[in-house]
């Protein structure tokens, strides 16, 4: 066989191999006790996005042949591989989500090779995981995108939530059972939300006071917010093996009847060991050696957009404020971004990483 023939055969084999590599692939399975999904586009650019999902009451399930969420379409079209772990636990699973996702990333590297660049992205609770990851693994990740992320310290926003639920009990003492502890069978289902809605509609003045106290929800979203907060409190009491919440040193302001509320609300004090566990998962350091872009809905009723300013201050105190940018879109709802908006925010992050030019804070362009 001549050298020309051998060369031609080599070209044919190489082309066939190339075509095989260019086929989009989806890998769904379980690794180290956590379900996962890996999507690699046909035009893979050899870069990786590790995605953290948010708080989930029920286990996340990746079904075979189920199309990937549309939110990832712009990222896959740009050539990025996306991996996501379901985590080995539900609820405020920051500890598990961090470890499970890192194991999945290492699994991906072994199977597909080290990426040219890696980015971390997360939504809601996944935003906290995103911030924690970019702070602790700057040697792995080039940049981070937090979407509607709960990136202020967890004890700060959860204590605020607890104070709201305690105030609800002051105005409506017969709707729920105990707050410490919340009954372990509580669910934020239609039945519980009907009870909340009925109570609020019967006392509009109290409803307005709660809205003013919380400062983020509107009348329509207050019902599910209170329902979710109650479940969050229950889950964290179970997770920390105690009560990590207290309003003993919280002075209520902004309502129509602050004096009466502060005199009459029941006061609770957190158990130190439980509170320490909650604050550990998570407490940001602000040590940002890589860019972190945060995108929020300005009308988010569950993770208020203003809460991201707390992270901005933490990063500034740590001397890394230049590596944080907060952007927003004007919309009501929690994590209600369009795929196009996610793609545009990600493009801003990539350009920041590539050029070193910090994008403008403010409204997403």
pLDDT digits (tens, 9 = 90+) for 28-74: 999 999 999 999 999 999 999 999 999 999 999 999 989 999 999 99
Angle value at C-alpha 336, between 330 and 341, nearest 5 degrees:
70
> Residue length, the chain?
365
Architecture per CATH, domain 21-152+283-363, reads as 3-Layer(aba) Sandwich (3.40)
Q: What predicted TM-score, i.e. pTM, was given to this entire model?
A: 0.92
Which residues 6+ apart lie within 8 Å of 30 measured at CB?
Answer: 36
Angle value at C-alpha 252, between 247 and 253, nearest 5 degrees:
155
What is the average pLDDT across 205-216?
96
Domain ranges in the chain? Answer: 21-152+283-363, 154-280
pLDDT digits (tens, 9 = 90+) for 248-288: 999 999 999 999 999 999 999 999 999 999 999 999 999 99
Q: Using the CB atoms, write b or e for 15-42: b if 16+ within 10 Å.
A: eeeeeeeeeeeeeeeeeeebbbbbbbbe
Contact 247, 166 (CB under 8 A): yes
Contact 343, 281 (CB under 8 A): no
Reported as a pLDDT band with limits 50, 70 and 90, residue 22 is confident
């Amino acid at each position: 066989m001549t050298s020309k023939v051998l060369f031609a055969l080599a070209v044919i084999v190489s082309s066939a191999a190339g075509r095989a590599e260019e086929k989009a692939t989806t890998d769904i399975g379980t690794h180290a006790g956590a379900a996962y999904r890996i999507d690699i586009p046909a035009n893979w650019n050899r870069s990786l996005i590790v995605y953290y999902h948010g708080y989930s009451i029920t286990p996340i399930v990746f079904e075979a042949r189920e199309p990937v969420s549309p939110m990832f379409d712009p990222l896959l079209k740009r050539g990025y591989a996306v991996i996501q772990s379901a985590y080995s636990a539900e609820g405020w699973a920051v500890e598990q989500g961090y470890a499970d996702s890192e194991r999945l990333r290492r699994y991906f590297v072994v199977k597909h090779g080290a990426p040219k660049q890696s980015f971390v992205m997360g939504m809601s609770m996944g935003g906290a995981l995103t911030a924690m990851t970019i702070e602790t693994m700057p040697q792995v990740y080039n940049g981070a995108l937090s979407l509607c992320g709960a990136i202020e310290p967890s004890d700060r926003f959860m204590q605020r939530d607890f104070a709201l639920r305690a105030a609800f009990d002051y105005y409506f003492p017969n709707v729920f059972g105990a707050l410490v502890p919340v009954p372990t069978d509580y669910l934020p289902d239609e039945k519980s939300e009907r009870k909340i809605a009925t109570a609020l509609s019967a006392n509009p003045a109290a409803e307005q006071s709660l809205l003013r106290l919380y400062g983020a929800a509107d009348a329509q979203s207050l019902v599910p917010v209170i329902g979710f907060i109650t479940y969050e409190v229950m889950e964290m009491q179970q997770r920390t093996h105690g009560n990590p919440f207290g309003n003993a040193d919280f002075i209520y302001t902004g309502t129509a009847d602050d004096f009466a509320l502060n005199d009459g609300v029941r006061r609770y004090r957190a158990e130190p060991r439980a509170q320490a566990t909650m604050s550990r998962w998570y407490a940001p350091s602000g040590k940002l050696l890589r860019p972190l872009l945060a995108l929020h809905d300005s009308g988010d009723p569950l993770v208020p957009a203003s809460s991201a300013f707390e992270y901005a201050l933490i990063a500034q105190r740590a001397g890394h404020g230049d590596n944080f940018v907060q952007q927003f879109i004007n919309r009501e709802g929690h994590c209600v971004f369009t795929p196009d908006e996610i793609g545009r925010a990600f493009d801003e992050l990539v350009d920041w990483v590539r050029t070193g030019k910090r994008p403008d804070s403010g409204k997403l362009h």
